[in-house]
Amino acid sequence: MTDFPWLSVLIAVPIVGAIVVQALPRRANPAAPKQIALGVSLLTLVLTLVMTSAYKTDGGMQFTEQHEWIKTFGAHYALGVDGIGLSLVLLTVILTPVVLLASWNDGDNGRWSPNAFFAWMLAMEGLAVGVFAATDVFLFYVLFEATLIPIYFLVGGYGGPQRARAAVKFLLFSLAGGLVMLASVIGLYVESAQHQGGRADGGATYLVSELAKIDFGTDVGRWLFVGFFIAFAVKAPMFPVHTWLPDTTQNATPGTSVLLVSVLDKIGTFGMVRFCLELFPEASKWATPVVVTLAVISIIYGALMAIGSDNIPRLIGYTSVSHFGFIVLGIFVMNSQGLSGANLYMFNHGLSTAALFLVTGFLISRRGSALISDFGGVEKVAPVLAGLFLVAGLSSLSLPGLSPFVSEFLVIVGTFSHSEVAAAFAVSGIVLAAIYILLMYQRTMTGPTRAEVAGMRDLGTREVVALAPVLLLILVLGFFPKPLLSVINPSVDHTMSQVGKQDPAPTVADKTPEGAHE
Amino acid sequence: MKFTAPHIQYDLISPILIVLGVAVIGVLVEAAVPRARRYWVQVVLAVVGILGALGGTVYVLDKINAGSDHPKPGFLAAEGAIAVDGPTLFSWVLILVLALLGVLLFAERQLEGGVTAFAGQAAALPGTEAEREASAKGLEHTEVFPLLMFAVSGMLIFPAANDLLTLFVALEVLSLPLYLLCGLARRRRLLSQEAAMKYFMLGAFSSGFFVYGIALTYGYAGSMQFDKIANAVSSSSGDHALLLGGMGLLAVGLLFKVGAAPFHAWTPDVYQGAPTAVTGFMAAATKVAAFGALLRLFYVAFGGARWDWQPMMWGVAILTMVVGSVFALTQTDVKRLLAYSSIAHAGFVLTGFLGARSLADIHAGDITPVQAVLFYVTTYGLTTMAAFAIVTVVRDSGGEATHLSRWAGLGKESPLVAGIFAFLLLGMAGIPLTSGFTGKWAVFAAALSAGAWPVVIVAVLMSAVAVYFYVRVIVVMFFADPVGEGPTVAVPSVMTGAVIAVGAAATLVLGVVPGPLLDALGRIAQFIR
């Protein structure tokens, strides 16, 4: 069973599904493409779960496949997942069916047919799995760029009034970052060619496992690191290259925003761990002060901008800037609490943001306005919606008992042992989070019911069914994060050893990864 | 005095001879065959000629492979005037393929209602009774096919030329027919004639530079032959100033042909004014030939003086990329936009050209600059050809609708055509999984290996700028609503369709599985000296 190309199948199934959905006749049966798309995404989920059952928690890279692709470039079609990759693949395949179900009617009023909407979403899923599973830098880069195309058309074709502008802004930011990374990717080739030149089989290679053995030297390593880091910082997004994110979420459909923020932006932070830290450990340590500062600025700036936003999707976009600040902080404090917190945060942030985008999406579609000031007293007419909104919001502000709390706590613990000043600033992000979430809830849900929302329907069965798995996962992982941590921690240890850092001596005993192991 | 007959080795240069022969026969056809039948005779003749030349190339390739114990990777033919080696043969195949696609575009009759896109009677002044009469009679110039073949023969000699005189003759043979073809548009004739005039004047001017460069180089080396020049350079005999002057002036002539800044000024006007079929052919095939020649001249003859010409080429490459990308931002005409994009691409190819380094530094399996440049011009040529083919089918009542605003809403009008064009633009922008990406990767890697990292950084930044103007066209096509009645997509004959299909397929295939072509290039990318 181990020789079965699991990951290739996980990439191929959604993409083939996308082609089928797009090729279906347009008007024969409007629901058919949606049902097929949902079926395909559920099939992918089931396949992933079967694969996960065969995963060994401390087995390093698993389900590996490797074929030579372009010999001259040293590029391979090489796949494999470790704990970090697996958790993000899981996140992708869990969220896709949820998003498809929640966006059932969102593709109907777009520039193109609903078929295309669902097909692009499935294509996105396949490409995203590929990005998280790629163990060859060239393959990673190709898929990294390829994921932009589905999002570009999803934002540009189906979003709000400013969608074309937002789509272009998104694409240009991402491509500019990607091209900077291209210079570094090519630099890797040149370095690899020089280091491998004497070998019998000759030639350069892009395999991460081989590249990690190369010592690039101080200057070269730092330049290459900067190229990668800029691309990932745009993607993540970090202050000051975050400006595309609020514009995009404001104009995209909620489902698109979920795929973008919860799944695709994780490529940025995933890339920081997989490539910046593991390939350029020396340069990463060199850059830590700057990166930590930017991360703290992101946390506070994103939160402040969120408090000031009246547009709900824009607000959620800014909250993500803040949360990504936490993730980057956890990665670059370089101790095992911070790193495992960051990796856990990637998963949990995906869930909580997805819940928040979807539930506010339902709210906005009912009122026809995305402005907080247009709502008021919704909880009396739509109690289920209000309740789920509150849970999603509380998870976003990291209430204890909900899953993001565990990860945020770990990140802050890790930050304390790195720098108390940075931690002190980062903690203020938690307070600010409470303000933007609770203010939003208070203004939209409580108080006297406004006339415009008086006739609002509560959530329907489809909407509740779509949201339920996400909220359930948030709740379960909030009390019982061990399964996820036990998958992530061995990979974190591997990264730590690659970076060559030891944990500082005094740590919070019961929150060390070893503790979580038991 | 005893006269020794030169040893020509006709079989080795058979592709050139076949194309030239067919061109001459084409001229005779104009004189001998009745007007009604000329079109088909010319088209068939041209296609057969090109296929014959391709056959000849395969024969030569076989011959080189058969003589693998031969100490050199090719042959010198015609007393050393023509070098038949790997890069030459590859350029020949590529030029012939592009020429075949060019013939198909030239032969398109369905878009203009039964006549070709060339002037009915070029001698009739625009707007006169004679012109109306010519178009009423349905006249067409079938001379375009022999002209094309003459240009192709020049292009075949150009990358193979192994001495300066042959190089110059090839330059003129390929240029003169192109000047003429540029002025033959059926519609917007004044624009077309202006383009031809401009191209001719500037082209003649640059030829002057080129000849002066030949003279100075001859003064330096005492020979026109590349190997003798290389010897003179490595032994540092002669006056160094003559060498520098000669190299600089020769470079001007060649850089003019590839459309590199600051010798690019003709490109937008000529690309816009020329009949679109000619533009497509010229943009693709001329670049292949000129870069082939540039590589041979500077690697073989001036390879030893690398440290002298590299700084100049750094400057030219950077300037070309910046000018092409930045000026493209403000263009509102699709053909002009593609012209500036071609300037930017010339800069990217030059980046690869800068990857020159001594053979000792190149490990087995590394990407070489010759490999990278030839790969890039392949991807660029095929994509560009298809892009111009698409320009010919987007029309309104006045002919081709080249103004960008007329392309608004094309995605609704014809998702297929707009989709393919968008794909080609993404290819030119260098998005992964298209040939533009693998091509860019190859030239950047070659340049970076040689330590030209400042050029690569500029190239990367300019690629980002270039993305903006390509995406702008996609936005117009897909996200803007049509103005007025909007454009229509005329259904072309199978010939134009084939060009588009081949170009798009190549853009995809070379983007996903570039391995075989790159490997093949790696095996043959060595000049015979």
Cβ-based neighbours of B119, under 8 Å, separated by 6 or more = B134, B141, B184, B185, B186, B189, B192
Q: What token pair was written down for A7?
A: 């990951």
pLDDT of residue B413: 81
pLDDT, mean of residues A29-34: 79
- Give the residue among B336, B210, B209 at the shortest CA–CA distance from B267: B336
pLDDT, mean of residues A296-325: 91
pLDDT at A136 over 80: yes
Q: Which residues of chain B have pLDDT under 50?
A: none
Listed by number, the residues of chain A in 190-229 with a beta carbon closer than 8 Å to a beta carbon of chain B are 190, 193, 197-198, 202-204
Question: For the segment A205-238, what is each residue's pLDDT rounded down to a tens digit?
Answer: 888 888 887 777 888 888 899 999 999 999 888 8
Distance from CA of B469 to the nearest CA of A (A): 10
Question: For the segment B34-84, what is each residue's pLDDT rounded down to a tens digit?
Answer: 988 899 999 999 999 999 999 999 998 888 777 655 555 778 888 888 999
Domain residue limits, chain A: 1-279, 286-518
pLDDT of residue B152: 96
Point out the least confidently predicted range of A18-27, A362-371, B414-423, B504-513: A18-27
The CA-atom distances, in angstroms, between A200 and each of B363, B434, B445 are: 11, 32, 22
**Cross-strand pairs, A81:** A62
pLDDT of residue A198: 47
Residues of chain B positioned with their CB less than 8 A from the CB of A141: 432
Which of A143, A168, A193 shows the shortest C-beta gap to B475?
A168
- Give the residue among B461, B392, B469, B463 at the shortest CA–CA distance from B425: B469
Question: For the segment A444-475, what is each residue's pLDDT rounded down to a tens digit?
Answer: 888 888 888 888 888 888 888 888 999 999 98
pLDDT at A513 over 70: no
* Local structure of A163: helix, strand or coil: helix
pLDDT band at A518 (very low <50, low <70, confident <90, very high): very low
Dihedral (CA of B55, B58, B59, B60) sign: positive
Residues of chain A positioned with their CB less than 8 A from the CB of B514: 70, 72
Distance from CA of B515 to the nearest CA of A (A): 5
| C-beta of residue A288 within 8 angstroms of C-beta of residue A329 | no
Contact A186 B445 (CB under 8 A): yes
Contact A172 B468 (CB under 8 A): yes
| C-beta of residue A136 within 8 angstroms of C-beta of residue A76 | yes
Distance from CA of B460 to the nearest CA of A (A): 6
Torsions phi, psi of B316, nearest 5?
Answer: -65, -45
User: What is the Cβ-side half-sphere exposure of residue A223, based on CA atoms within 13 angstroms?
Assistant: 15
Identify the helix (H) or strand (E) that includes residue B77.
strand B74-77
Question: For the segment A89-133, what is each residue's pLDDT rounded down to a tens digit?
Answer: 999 999 999 998 888 887 777 777 788 888 889 999 999 999 999
Mutate to test the interface with A, among B354, B413, B460 (most CBs of A within 10 A): B460
| C-beta of residue A255 within 8 angstroms of C-beta of residue A102 | yes
Which of B426, B453, B519 shows the shortest C-beta gap to A71?
B519
Cβ-based neighbours of A27, under 8 Å, separated by 6 or more = none
Residues of chain A positioned with their CB less than 8 A from the CB of B366: 193, 197, 203-204
Which of A73, A175, A193 shows the shortest C-beta gap to B441?
A73
Domain residue limits, chain B: 14-524
Q: What token pair was written down for A69?
A: 């692709």
For chain A, the average pLDDT equals: 85
DSSP 8-class letter at B161:
B
Residues of chain A positioned with their CB less than 8 A from the CB of B462: none
Which of B429, B471, B519 shows the shortest C-beta gap to A72?
B519
CA nearest to A140 within chain B: B432
| Angle formed at CA B400 by CA B396 and CA B404, multiple of 5 degrees | 85
DSSP 8-class letter at B355:
T
Distance from CA of A183 to the nearest CA of B (A): 7
A156 lies within 8 A of chain B by CB: yes
User: What is the Cβ-side half-sphere exposure of residue A373, based on CA atoms within 13 angstroms?
Assistant: 4
Share of chain B above pLDDT 70, in %: 97
**Cross-strand pairs, A134:** A79
| Angle formed at CA A340 by CA A337 and CA A345, multiple of 5 degrees | 115
Instruction: Count other C-beta atoms under 10 Å from residue A370's C-beta.
Output: 21
Who has greater pLDDT, B265 or A58? Answer: B265
pLDDT of residue A514: 45
- Give the residue among A51, A50, A58 at the shortest CA–CA distance from A517: A58
pLDDT, mean of residues A368-390: 86
pLDDT of residue A200: 47
Contact A197 B514 (CB under 8 A): no
| Angle formed at CA A180 by CA A175 and CA A186, multiple of 5 degrees | 115
The CA distance from B445 to B447, in Å, is 5
pLDDT band at A199 (very low <50, low <70, confident <90, very high): low
- Number of Cβ pairs < 8 A linking chain A and chain B: 111
pLDDT of residue A25: 75
Question: For the segment B272-286, what is each residue's pLDDT rounded down to a tens digit?
Answer: 999 999 999 999 999
